[in-house]
Amino acid sequence: MTPPLGDKAPAFALPDTEGVEHSLANGTFPATVVVFTCNHCPYALAWHDRIADSARDYSDRGVRFLAINSNDSERYPRDSLEAMQRRVRDEDWPLPYLHDESQEVARAYDARVTPDVFVLDGDGTLRYRGAPDSDYSDPTQGAAWLRGALDAVLSGEAPDPAETEPVGCSIKWKP
Amino acid sequence: MSEVGLDPERVVVREIDDEAHADAELFVGSPTIRVDGVDVQPPEEGEAPGLTCRVYHTRDGRVSPVPDPHDLRDALARVAARA
């Protein structure tokens, strides 16, 4: 079951593509964005630049972005750690790409698809969950729901909408 | 299909439900749309079969989970012209 909006988001600690561990508890941030994503899903790829642009645009306001790949890389080798490392190396990623090999973090968040976006406030409370914006095929949407949620959280207000239907490829669970 | 004079009743939807089935069918991801056995947007050479989501590109270069509708129409029109 998805953690309810207004509850503390599940804690986690995961390694990025360089082996550096990232934890929700590390550091102080006015907001944190957790995005479940992957390498092989067309929806995740279509939204990637918009999410990356958001990470760049909100970095000077102290917002932390964390991308997490939870897919089963045994059956889906394009989501292997090596493939994640290649992407980060070949592309200009402004956010760490974390490997959830056990899939425990995806289960804790009840992540369903890629991409699935969660926005946490400075206390680690879940304030938004859903899609980056309303249309994967329209880059001009610019991750408007995600940006709106961040603007609200940074202003101490409740996002509107606070929840949207995540759209994408299903998380590839291990058998 | 109706637009180009083909019978929409002739669409066959097939589920590929395991890796062996994907290998046997040279299925490189979902959805794969073949018109008279020819992929609407043929995969790159060497692309491995498997149960995965397929990445298409629209004619303006955007990533998409489905083929560009123009590619589908063109494929259908080619078959209709041969009929």
B62/A42 Cβ within 8 A? no
Nearest CA in chain B to A48: B63
DSSP run (H or E) holding A35: strand A31-36
| B1's tokens | 């299909």
Question: Which residue in the block uniquely carries the two structure tokens 């790949």?
Answer: A69
The CA dihedral of A153, A128, A71, A48, to the nearest 10 degrees, is -60
Quick one: what percent of chain A has pLDDT higher than 90? 91
**Residues of B whose CB is below 8 A from A75:** 19, 50-51
Contact B54 A42 (CB under 8 A): yes
Judging contacts by C-beta atoms under 8 Å, the chain A residues touching residue B52 are: 40, 76, 78
Confidence band (pLDDT; 50, 70, 90) for B82? confident
Calculate mean pLDDT across residues A11-22. 97
This prediction's pTM: 0.91
Give the closest residue to B68 by CA, choosing from A48, A137, A142, A143.
A137
N-terminal to C-terminal alpha carbon distance within chain A: 19
In the predicted model, is pLDDT for residue B83 greater than 80?
A: no
From residue B65, give the alpha-carbon distance in Å to each of A39, A63, A125, B14, B15. 13, 30, 33, 18, 17
Q: Which residue of B has its CA nearest to A138?
A: B62
Identity of the residue in A40, A136, A137 whose CB atom sits nearest the CB atom of B52 = A40
Closest Cβ–Cβ partner in B19, B51, B55 for A42: B55
Put simply, the answer to whether A41 touches B54 (Cβ < 8 Å) is no
**pLDDT of B24:** 95
Least Cα distance to A54 among A33, A26, A70 occurs for A33
User: What residue segments make up the domains of chain B, in order of their start?
Assistant: 2-82
pLDDT in tens, A28-61: 899 999 999 999 999 999 999 999 999 999 999 9
The confidence score (pLDDT) of residue A116 equals 98
Separation in Å, CA of B66 to nearest CA in chain A: 9
ipTM over 0.90: no
Which residue reads 């078959």 in tokens? B79
Residue B49's identity, in one-letter code, is P
